[in-house]
Structure 1
Amino acid sequence: MNSDNYKEAKVAFVSGVVGSSITQINLISLVSFISIGVHADVIRSRTPRPVSFVLEWTILVLPVLLSVTLFAHRPLLLSALTLAAQWPLTHIVSRFPHTRPSSEKKAQSSYDAPASGPRSLAALSSYRAHMMLLTTLAILAVDFPVFPRFLAKCESFGTSMSFIVGQMDLGVGAFVFSQGVVSAIPILKDPAYLDAPLLPKLFVAIRKVAPLAALGLVRVLLVKGTDYPEHVTEYGVHWNFFLTLAILPPLQILLHGAIARMHIASIALGILAVHQSALSFTPLQSFALNAPRTDLFSMNREGIISLPGYLAIHLLGLLTGMIVIPPTPSHFRRARRQLKQNEDPNEPTRPLPRLDAPRDNSKTSTELLSYSFLFWTFVVGIVFARGNDVVSRRLANMPYVLWTAAYNTTAIGIYILLEMLQHITAPRPPPRDESKDADLHEPPPPQVAQAPALFEAINRNGLLVFLFANVMTGLVNLSMKTMYAGDALAMIVLCVYSLAVCGVAWALRGKRVISL
């Protein structure tokens, strides 16, 4: 088969997919949460905490890879096997030497926070790293038959987990949602940031996203120059996910005036309602799905028309960041209220609430899961009334946005609950020395939950990991006909690929090169 015929066959291989049920996708995701629990128990079997790349990959990465390949049709069996592996792994690890090389650095947060900034949140680190892992695994796995077609990207409507030529239905939404979560940090550090002059903030935001925009343009040139198989109905002829990611932060800056005066959820849902109304009551949806590609706008109509939906996802991620990053979910509201009171000359000036105060994860999880319940209620109602085929990543319509928000808020909420459980079941510190010299010694710092070392490494250089995964995916596709690979060969390639991607993150865990 010549290259042109193979390219056509490859495009056909990933086209016409209608997706899976939301329940099936949730069951497949279950193993990610179970692996976190298994990891915590295995690591707890010895002190000090071991840092082993092979062990981290085996517990955290291999189950995720299996969940979207060999066990995609049997997710509950994989979850049971992952749980069953806990005892033998604990037994093996307990026999490791109880020493750590002196050169090993202390685990660090996925973002560096100063003493006055937000404390490390293991749940958020685990969420972001698992999202990145699923993304990097799926962008290559989708090219092999071992990756079930029901998980591949849906053509126009439906739900799936897969990336196709770099983008996925659930994964692309999770990327945008995560971007919104992290964008809450500068606002939380300085509540007056929302009221700062617009143009300087916009200039800084454009400068920060310039590398993403450049990557988007480079991707267009490489794809067109190498005649790489692509699916233009994703975003259009020239548009791609990097360009979407680059545009959203400046758009958020333009909304700072509204964010300072209105609830973020109201702004997000208002944008979503206008977008969905335009899709439902004007020819916009028909144009996005069926119009001929005659000019620059129509050639890239999917990427442009879906922007309001992705902006809504980004804002709902920002709302989630305002809840989960500070010590309590009411921190930002109290800070803004105190800031306004300090501006009143008749009121005494008081300090703003501190970001490094002790966390109240019970309140955080309660509020976050309340939002999750609300989102899921809308999603279940829509699916019950009209079915899964109403969800469209291609349009970023209301059902897709609500599904993305429901899934991601639930995932972060579960990670927070796991972090709370890890704290409850952590070994108790030794009894206090009541001798007369006890007070001369500095008390040990309070124990806090930590994300797995591999997850911290992935978060430290998220953008680099993502770029390396895309390059590796392209090289594999250019060097072999993945569409005709057997399951055994596919799994070998995918395991080596995942080891390489995670290995890059692990090798650079002590430094930050570039981040997402």
Structure 2
Amino acid sequence: MSDYKTLKEAWVSEQTGSSITHVNAISSVALASIALFSVIHTRLYDGRAGPAFIPSFALLVLPLLFSMTLFALRPLLLTGLLLVPAALVLARTPRPGTTLPASQGALKPLPALTTYRAHMMLMTILGILAVDFPVFPRSLAKCEKYGVSVMDLGVGSFVFSNGLVSALPLLKDPAHLNAPLLPKLLAVVKRTAPVIALGVVRVVLVKGTEYPEHETEYGTHWNFFITLALLPILQVLMHPLLKVVPAVDSGAGIQQLALSPLGLDLKGYVKTAPRLGLISANREGIVSLGGYLAIHLLGLFTGTLVLPPTPAFFRRMRDAHKKRDDGNRNELGAPRQNDKTAIELASYAMVWWAVLGVISMPGLRVDEGVSRQTANLPYALWITGFNTSFILGYLVLDMIFFPGPMRKKRQSGGYNDREYGKEKEMRRAPELLEAVNLNALPLFLLANLLTGLVNLSMQSMYASDAKAMGVLALYAVVVCGVAWGVRGRRVKLWFL
């Protein structure tokens, strides 16, 4: 086991990654799968009921698995294979009937956001096991120091997504930033303590079983669970600052300055410091924490744009709160203005990509490249630009295929508003993706346990592509089957 552990650690080390274009192409498969699913749902199912588990799994999960394995080097081919049948169905079936504007009410989940978060989680779940097999190209594995890859994208997107939904308390009550710090801090510590405990348990299990690990990823004892648990705590501690400096302006630049020789030269510390004490032994995780906090805050800022009915809602609420006028709070239940949200998301996406392009130009580089290891400014911009763009993509697909609730047409040719009132809203995220999103953390824990069991029961590094795909498909079926089995119910773990 020790020899295999050494070989496995060497196999996942010193990776330099792929390109942003390649990673974007692989990720575009997710959008294509949603396009095909939406066409089938609206044109063949007439929006009344979604496909059952097996077709949902085939349409929504298998394309993601294929995109990072068998089709990883030709992802646009897979995207085409999904879009061609979608185009054929569109051409051969009539467009659904007229629509009505969305009804008013309390703030409801945005289907495009549910789809985005579920797909992000599924790619993470699939990636953490797929990376252990040769069928997963090494260029998609986590980079050692600099570079971009699917695995580097996954951890940053996870942080961005969590930051996005953390905007909910601010939207529901703008005074949340001004609330007493200690009660908020105690509440968030209580909520995140189990995740910290999971991080500690993972350290014990990894060290105790000689499980292959990559020390330069986060350090000797640090892991992603610890980073994930600390970010909400740090966000609360920053509330006094966020009252003065908007979330979009906080963190990323400060992190880059701290990494550079003009600041604290933390980049040099990560590269050269010996692992003598607890801090230096975990220097990668500690140093990258500031960058991940910046990504978390950028996600929070994006959440204030996409979660409310209109992207201007939070700005108006914040201004009204300063004037002690709570009259605009009722707008939280207003109909969504997805067109305005899409325009604002597109504007910010162009800004993030443009800034990343400028600071990556020869002569203007602020660092040696994108670095997940230190979570530098280029990494934060890449993660933010990618996630903003793909949320926009899911939102645009929603606007195309699901412009509003469907009115139920009577055989006489008219529309029965009484029957329509009994109908559910036509647009909702695919049921399987809703199930994954609802129980994301329990499923992620299950996936980690299954990944450990697979790696302890076989030498995955030597598995053939056929064997690897069989194991990965079974693994995906088990995780998604559990999600499907408990759909509609939030699983409560005893330690959470």
TM norm structure 1: 0.87
Match of 1:108 in 2: none
> Runs of 5+ in structure 2 lacking a partner?
94-103
1:407 to 360, 367, 386: 386
Contact 2:404 2:426 (C-alpha < 8 Å) held by counterparts? no
2:305 to 323, 342, 345: 323
Match of 1:288 in 2: 270
CA–CA distance in 2 between the matches of 1:383 and 1:439?
A: 56
CA–CA distance in 2 between the matches of 1:469 and 1:228?
A: 16
Match of 2:442 in 1: 464
Contact 1:335 1:353 (C-alpha < 8 Å) held by counterparts? no
Task: Show CA shifts across 1:246-277 (max 9, x none).
Answer: 111011111212223332212x2xx2222211
Task: Show CA shifts across 1:328-357 (max 9, x none).
Answer: 0111111122223236xxxxx735243221
Which runs of 4 or more aligned residues in structure 1 lie more than 3 Å from their structure 2 counterparts after TM superposition? 84-91, 386-389, 424-429, 431-435, 437-448
Instruction: Give the residue type in structure 1 aligned to 2:327.
Output: R
Query: Are 2:319 and 1:337 equivalent residues in the alignment?
Result: yes
CA–CA distance in 2 between the matches of 1:382 and 1:440?
A: 58
CA–CA distance in 2 between the matches of 1:496 and 1:25?
A: 25
Match of 1:225 in 2: 208
CA–CA distance in 2 between the matches of 1:441 and 1:487?
A: 52
CA–CA distance in 1 between the matches of 2:61 and 2:285?
A: 31
- How big is the alpha-carbon RMSD for the aligned residues of Structure 1 and Structure 2? 2.7
Task: Show CA shifts across 1:299-355 (max 9, x none).
Answer: 000000111100100000000100000000111111122223236xxxxx7352432
Contact 1:338 1:352 (C-alpha < 8 Å) held by counterparts? no
2:448 is paired with a residue whose SS is helix
Instruction: Give the residue type in structure 2 aligned to 1:149.
Output: R
1:242 is paired with a residue whose SS is helix
Match of 2:329 in 1: 352
Aligned pairs for 1:54-73 within 5 A: 54-73=54-73
Change (3 A) 1:438 1:390: closer
Query: Are 2:182 and 1:204 equivalent residues in the alignment?
Result: no
Instruction: Give the residue type in structure 1 aligned to 2:355.
Output: F
2:332 is paired with a residue whose SS is coil
Aligned pairs for 1:343-492 within 5 A: 350=327, 352-385=329-362, 390-424=369-403, 429-430=408-409, 443=421, 447-492=425-470
Structure 1 window deviating more from structure 2 (255-264 vs 36-45): it is 255-264
Change (3 A) 1:339 1:86: same
> Runs of 5+ in structure 1 lacking a partner?
94-114, 163-168, 344-348
Match of 2:99 in 1: none
CA–CA distance in 2 between the matches of 1:22 and 1:366?
A: 23
Query: Are 2:45 and 1:46 equivalent residues in the alignment?
Result: yes
CA–CA distance in 2 between the matches of 1:439 and 1:150?
A: 55
Aligned pairs for 1:495-506 within 5 A: 495-506=473-484
Query: Are 2:132 and 1:143 equivalent residues in the alignment?
Result: yes
Contact 1:462 1:514 (C-alpha < 8 Å) held by counterparts? no
Q: CA deviation at 1:422?
A: 1.3
1:416 is paired with a residue whose SS is helix
Structure 1 window deviating more from structure 2 (275-284 vs 390-399): it is 275-284
Task: Show CA shifts across 1:415-472 (max 9, x none).
Answer: 111111112498664279999x978777456845211111100011000010000000
Change (3 A) 1:361 1:171: same
CA–CA distance in 1 between the matches of 2:417 and 2:77?
A: 53
CA–CA distance in 1 between the matches of 2:367 and 2:18?
A: 8
